[in-house]
A and B are shown apart, each in its own frame.
Chain A
Amino acid sequence: MNKISVIIKREYVTRVRKKSFIIMTVLAPLLMAAIFILPTVFMMNQGGEHKKIAVVEDNSDLFKGVVPNTKDAEFIYLENTKVEDLKKSFENSGYYGILWISPELINTPNAVELISKQQPPIGLLQHIENSLKKEIERQKLLAYKIDNLDDIMKNIETSVSIQTINIDSTGAVKKTSTGIAMALAYIFGFLMYMLVFIFGAQVMRGVIEEKTSRVVEVIISSVKPVQLMLGKIVGIALVGLTQFLIWIFLTVAIITVLKTTLLSKTDMTEITQNVPQNVMSGSQTVAVSTQQADVSPKLAEFSMLFDSAMNQPWVLIIICFIFYFITGYLLYASVFAAIGSAVDNETETQQFMLPVTIPIILALMVAMGTMQNPESSLSFWCSMIPLTSPIVMMARIPFGVPYWQIAVSMIIMLVTFAGFVWMAAKVYRTGILMYGKKTSWKEMWKWLRYSG
């Protein structure tokens, strides 16, 4: 109806023109970009922090040169040095830590110590453990006196990376990636949560504003309360979508710009350094047939991820996202509108907010669980129950959901959403004209049954 569109327009225009909207719209992508960029910057800086680690043994040189240097750590093998002496002069030695290896290590797994002031990073420990393990294995094999052991060792060196393939009912297969599916599940679930909550709460605040300023009486002598409520809900939904689209656009733009200007130098040199090395080591290895894939494992991995991302059912995802966003938002926003109408100011909303917040938080938690186990019955039921389905179903879809389940969930959603809007409208109609009375759930239940 024409009057609804007038209301929608006002709700939209006044919000979009607000300073806070403009500031948030510009600021949020900067923050998002910072979240993406900062870890990279930190990682680059970390590379500069060089750790020197002294390696000592007791009266032997079994493990000399066994632990290779890494980008962050240099291993200095000290011959004829007692670990006790080193410990005493540790403070001024400039070493990050002392790696003490006992010759017993071959038989006793824990006969090795890393002595340092700080807790060493897990990556460093793994590096040391792996290097030592390999060396011990090599020495044990040597004891069998096998000919050409070195060649054999080189030949059997392999790496394994599972490629997951999804098969559908027609027998067609698709390369997928659980990583991508998890990322998408996370993004969609969280996005839905944010949109529903932030903009649903805005609806509530708008209703309270109209009620406390008594504008509502003037308006509903011109339009029906339901029209005002729906106009507000739809107007704010459009504000949300506008902000959301600008955010995506700006975030992508900022990240692209920053990446190309800030990071281009280091990234490019790293890649150009990596490629020839890989080519060289590749040509040294025997397996010629698989060279193509081996040339640049990084690139291959990336293209696989990319393939997998492209293989997601994007049309389905987008349709579902729009559907669940609209219905989920309308469902919660109408509840928020009803709450807003029942109270006199924002502080009074607390008692009503909790029961509304719980299903949303629950949905978010189940969505997190869904990433671990998409087929669990908890995920299934939560993707059917309309209060949680928008978030949980969106988290499930990247892992593949049978169409009938989506259809059933959508139908339940539509029915519930219509019911909620109808009930909310009834509460709203009575609530917006009630002043000065503390409202209880019981009271709201009564309003539901008022006629006219």
Chain B
Amino acid sequence: MPLFEAKNITKQFANHLALDNVSISVPEQCIYGLLGPNGAGKTTLIRIINQITGPDTGELFLDGKKLMPEDVQFIGYLPEERGLYKKMKVGEQAVYFAQLKGLSKAEAMKRLKYWFKKLDIVDWWGKKVEELSKGMQQKVQFIITILHEPKLLIFDEPFTGFDPLNANIIKNEILFLRERGATIIFSTHNMASVEELCDNITLIDKAKTILEGSVDEIRSKWAANEYDLIYEGDVKIEGNGHYNVLNQKQENNKSIIRLKTTGTINTNEILQTLMKSGNINSFNPALPSMNEIFIRVIEARN
């Protein structure tokens, strides 16, 4: 049973359709990527999941039960536009948001101490938010989001504003949270982090779902019979009726070749032919990056 489901969500604003019959199904302990170009409707969907706005039609389920207003305590949300009171002190502010999520003050203090120590920001407790750098504010906001240990975490572009070092820290924390049982919906434009983190994705464009499934499946589906072949030494081959050579190059005393099979015979038979040309180092299906897939899918629609 999926931890979270949105079924047939439609949302109409005054003069444009933000979501058109979109459904997502997020398995438990999964990192679920919500992808799409700017203005596709991702933020609207996230707001609907957070019950900030309601859908015109469609239903939401958490743990198999209809999503209720009280369920906000099980959801943690890191919005893309970070929001903190600038004049308020970091510690007080964190306690305030924790209380709004239903934690007692004592419990909030206890957990905050743990997280402030873990992310190495104990010294900032008494500082005003406006004194912090953008990356520092991000860390504070991250802690605020996860403090009440929600089942479902929603991160909207969690890595913007972080240097590579801190981005890595946050990435590891996200993986750690999943290990401890959290399910994560993750909206981003950064396709490298999608390949690295996401198990499943949904790609939304112009209010519609156009691609969904596990990252591995999608990549192999889009692989389209392409293979990467590496020979030791300087080897050149030519295409025949069973395969075409897309490109080949020499690097570090290796020959790297991209093939596209025509599907008339299976890969074993092709390999037998290829083995005659030289010493094969590796033969792998060439998976397109999520970036490529993203661009190809969106461009195909335009």
Contact = CB atoms under 8 A, between A and B. Distances in A.
Contact of A14 (B51, B77, B82, B87): B87
A218 B54 contact: no
B53 to A, nearest CB: 7
Interface stretch (A209-217, A234-242, A333-341, A395-403): A209-217
Contacts of B51: 221
B116 interface: no
A215 B83 contact: yes
Interface string B50-80: 1111111000000000000100100101010
Interface in A1-35: 3, 6-7, 10, 14
Contacts of A223: 72, 100
B88 A14 contact: yes
A213 B14 contact: no
A218 B144 contact: yes
Interface in A190-242: 209-210, 213-224
Nearest to A10: B96
Given A221-B51, A452-B53, A446 B77 contact: no
A272 interface: no
Contacts of B102: 3
A409 B295 CA distance: 65
Nearest to A223: B100
A213 B77 contact: no
Contacts of A6: 96, 99-100
A213 B96 contact: no
Contacts of A216: 83
A218 B55 contact: no
Contact of A433 (B52, B55, B141): B52
A71 to B, nearest CB: 56
A108 interface: no
Chain A interface, DSSP helix/strand/loop, else mixed: helix
A126 to B, nearest CB: 58
B54 A214 contact: no
Contacts of B88: 14
Contacts of A451: 54
Nearest to B88: A14
B47 interface: yes
Contact of A7 (B54, B75, B83, B100): B100
A210 B88 CA distance: 12
Contact of B97 (A214, A218, A452): A218
B139 interface: no
A221 to B, nearest CB: 4
Contacts of B144: 218
B75 A213 contact: no
B50 A221 contact: yes
Given A7-B100, A446-B14, A221 B52 contact: yes
B14 A224 contact: no
Given A14-B88, A218-B97, A218-B144, A433 B82 contact: no
Contacts of A452: 53-56
A220 B101 CA distance: 10
Nearest to B73: A222
A446 B13 CA distance: 11
Contacts of B141: 218
A220 B85 CA distance: 14
A215 B84 contact: yes
A210 B100 CA distance: 15
Interface of B: 14, 47, 50-56, 69, 72, 75, 77, 79, 81-88, 96-97, 99-102, 141, 144
Given A217-B47, A218-B84, A220-B52, 18 more contacts: A7-B100, A14-B85, A209-B85, A217-B77, A217-B81, A217-B83, A218-B83, A219-B83, A221-B50, A221-B72, A221-B75, A221-B77, A222-B97, A223-B72, A223-B100, A433-B52, A452-B54, A452-B56
25 contacts: A3-B102, A6-B96, A6-B99, A6-B100, A14-B85, A14-B88, A213-B83, A214-B79, A215-B83, A217-B79, A217-B81, A217-B83, A218-B97, A218-B141, A219-B97, A219-B100, A221-B50, A221-B51, A221-B52, A221-B72, A221-B75, A222-B72, A222-B97, A224-B69, A451-B54
